[in-house]
Amino acid sequence: MLKVLLTSQDISAGIDQLAAEITAHYAEKDLTIIGVMTGSIILLSDLIRRLDRRMRVGLIQARSYQGENTTAGHLQVNADMLPEVEGTHVLLLDDIFDSGQTLSELVNRFQKLGATSVRTAVLLRKDRPRDVTLTADHVVFDIGNHFVVGYGLDYNDEYRNLPHIAILPTQDFPS
């Protein structure tokens, strides 16, 4: 049984606040939002519809969780769907800030690609120790150190379609 952590109404209100923060920060700047696939696709869709401004949107696939794993492994990146980012202000949008390794690596990559600035926004930030110095610039919700699913987040490619965020009980993990 999944325990709902954040309702769809909670999420919607949080994204409204995130949109206001992004609008204020990038008031007169050209913006390129890069969604980190696959977990951020629902967030990306909902967020960009709340931003009344010109922007470019791109996707990058980065994953460190494979199949039934519940701990991060080696980061795999596919940048085939990226627009040109040299000389642009980039906002990396991800579903969750867990270990921080994915966003830290991606920020470095975008800086090397010549982005004018690189900032980060995440839907969720887990309360846990991290080995990276990067902190997310925009955080919608802080949560405990739970394995969560829904609203784009998955376990073994399931649960992404839930309209809310729920805690996946540890007994649902394989032994």
Active centre residues (catalytic)? 98
Q: Quick check: 153 and 140 in contact, CB under 8 A? A: no
128: number of CA atoms within 13 Å, CB side? Answer: 17
- Distance of alpha carbon 42 from alpha carbon 44, whole angstroms: 5
Strands, E assignment, 3-129: 3-6, 31-37, 56-63, 76-78, 89-97, 117-126
How far is residue 119 CA from its own chain's centroid?
12
For 20, 46, 67, the CA distances from 108, given in Å and listed in that order, are 26, 26, 26
Residue that is written with structure tokens 């949560």 in the block: 143
